[in-house]
């Protein structure tokens, strides 16, 4: 009775198995990065809307808002509040915290076969799009403000695509690259002064580095140019991993710059309730580039184990 496999076949089985195990480990890490990015983004916006007033209130400040309120039998004080009590606008924007909380939970529980949960996450992406649009309106409709929120808006969409099609599927990868480019193109346009640079860019740089206005402006121009450079570099195979790892580090640095510059021992809770969530909701800005970095990783040992 002969053996079911030849010696040559048996010799090739172990390398292929090890290659598949390594690939599975990396894919698991990739999915964890996408889960983490979407979870932290929703958690940060949940705190923003629950504890502080969210940005969506600006969408209600329209010329016809008071007319509509009066037609419904209300008055201006009940609409905007009196200072001592919240008005309708504040209550509605605060309610947004609860869908954000639900979506944060969904990012941790959703599985490939959970179609209803996936639909909930896509709806959460729509909610983040509304938040991004509100930020855009409040910035006097500056395009980079809308563009730079692309990473946050697309974070739950990325997770759904990764679960539905796989972390290496073309749709997942293209969406991740789009999210990457939107974040850093928006940041770069502001830092270069193509649109008026937000005052907090100057404030954070000055507080953290102790630089004067001239040096701060020069530094912002340099990092703005690098932001645009990595948007191009991520599309070029030869430098895309370098671009991704730089973007991950810079995305993390710009996220934690908010609490680093704003928190102080003189504040209640050291100011963590005011600034920490600003870093948390920006998690996609560094976790999506990290996702791309590990996605494109091709260790030599994996290549040597790959079947020919």
Taking the CB of residue 110, how many other CB atoms lie within 10 A of it? Answer: 22
Buried b (16+ CB within 10 A) or exposed e, 189-202: bbbbeebebeeebb
- Of the candidates 11, 267, 23, the one whose C-alpha atom is nearest the C-alpha of residue 166 is 23
pLDDT value of residue 203: 92
CA 283 vs. chain centroid, Å, equals: 5
- Of the candidates 117, 119, 123, 186, the one whose C-alpha atom is nearest the C-alpha of residue 151 is 186
Q: Longest C-alpha distance within the chain, in Å?
A: 93
pLDDT value of residue 75: 62
- Of the candidates 44, 34, 155, the one whose C-alpha atom is nearest the C-alpha of residue 101 is 44
Report if residue 139 sits inside a domain.
yes
Range of the domain at 143: 7-59+86-305
pLDDT value of residue 21: 78
Report if residue 131 sits inside a domain.
yes
pLDDT value of residue 307: 38
| Span 165-178, pLDDT tens digits | 999 999 999 999 99
* Mean pLDDT in consecutive groups of 10 residues from the start of the chain, 308 residues: 50 62 90 98 96 85 66 64 65 90 97 94 97 94 96 98 96 98 97 94 92 93 97 96 97 95 87 93 97 83 40
Report if residue 81 sits inside a domain.
no
Compute CA distances 293 → 39, 187, 237, 286, whole Å. 20, 20, 12, 11
CA trace torsion 67, 91, 39, 232 (10° rounding):
30
CA–CA separation, 278 and 198 (whole Å) = 15
CA–CA separation, 15 and 286 (whole Å) = 34
Which token pair is 133? Answer: 């649009």
Report if residue 233 sits inside a domain.
yes
Report if residue 66 sits inside a domain.
no
3-state secondary structure the chain: CCCCCCHHHHHHHHHHHHHHHHHHHHHHHHHHHHHHHHHHHHHHHHHHHHHCCCHHHHHHCCCCHHHHHHHCCCCHHHHHCCCCCCCHHHHHHHHCHHHHHHHHHHHHHCCCCCHHHHHHHHHHHHHHHHHHHHHHHHCCCCHHHHHHCHHHHHHHHHHHHHHHHCCCCHHHHHHHHHHHHHHHHHHHHHHCCCCCCCHHHHHHHHHHHCCCHHHHHHHHHHHHHHHHHHHHHCCCCCCHHHHHHHHHHHHHHHHHHHHHHHCCCCCHHHHHHHHHHHHHCCCHHHHHHHHHHHHCCCCHHHHHHCCC
Report if residue 67 sits inside a domain.
no
Give the chain's domain count.
1
pLDDT value of residue 14: 61
pLDDT value of residue 94: 87
Report if residue 22 sits inside a domain.
yes
| Span 82-136, pLDDT tens digits | 555 666 777 888 899 999 999 999 999 999 989 999 999 999 999 999 999 999 9
Report if residue 72 sits inside a domain.
no
Nearest-Å Rg of the Cα atoms of the chain is 23
User: Is the sign of the CA dihedral 125, 129, 134, 136 positive or negative?
Assistant: positive
């Amino acid at each position: 009775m002969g053996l079911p496999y030849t010696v040559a076949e048996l010799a090739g089985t172990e390398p292929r198995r090890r290659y598949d195990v390594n690939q599975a480990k990396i894919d698991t890490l990739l999915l964890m990065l996408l889960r983490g990015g979407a979870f932290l983004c929703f958690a940060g916006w949940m705190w923003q809307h629950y504890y502080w007033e969210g940005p969506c209130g600006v969408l209600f400040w329209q010329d016809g808002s008071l007319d509509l309120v009066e037609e419904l039998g209300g008055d201006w004080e009940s609409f905007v509040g009196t200072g001592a009590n919240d008005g309708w606008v504040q209550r509605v924007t605060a309610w947004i915290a609860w869908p954000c909380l639900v979506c944060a939970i969904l990012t941790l529980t959703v599985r490939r076969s959970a179609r209803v949960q996936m639909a909930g996450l896509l709806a959460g992406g729509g909610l983040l799009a509304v938040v991004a649009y509100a930020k855009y309106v409040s910035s006097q409709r500056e395009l980079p403000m809308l563009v730079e929120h692309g990473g946050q808006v697309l974070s739950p969409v990325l997770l759904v695509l990764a679960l539905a099609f796989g972390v290496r599927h073309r749709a997942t990868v293209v969406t991740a690259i789009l999210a990457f480019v939107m974040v850093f193109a928006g940041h770069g346009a502001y830092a270069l002064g193509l649109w008026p640079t937000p005052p907090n860019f100057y404030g954070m740089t000055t507080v953290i580095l102790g630089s004067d206005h001239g040096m701060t402006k020069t530094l912002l121009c340099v990092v703005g140019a690098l932001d645009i450079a990595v948007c191009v570099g991520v599309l070029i195979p030869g430098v895309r991993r370098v671009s991704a790892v730089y973007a991950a580090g810079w995305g993390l640095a710009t996220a934690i710059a908010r609490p680093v510059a704003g928190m102080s021992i003189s504040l209640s809770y050291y100011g963590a309730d005011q600034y920490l969530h600003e870093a948390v909701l920006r998690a996609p800005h560094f976790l999506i580039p990290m996702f791309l970095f590990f996605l494109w990783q091709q260790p030599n040992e994996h290549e040597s184990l790959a079947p020919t």
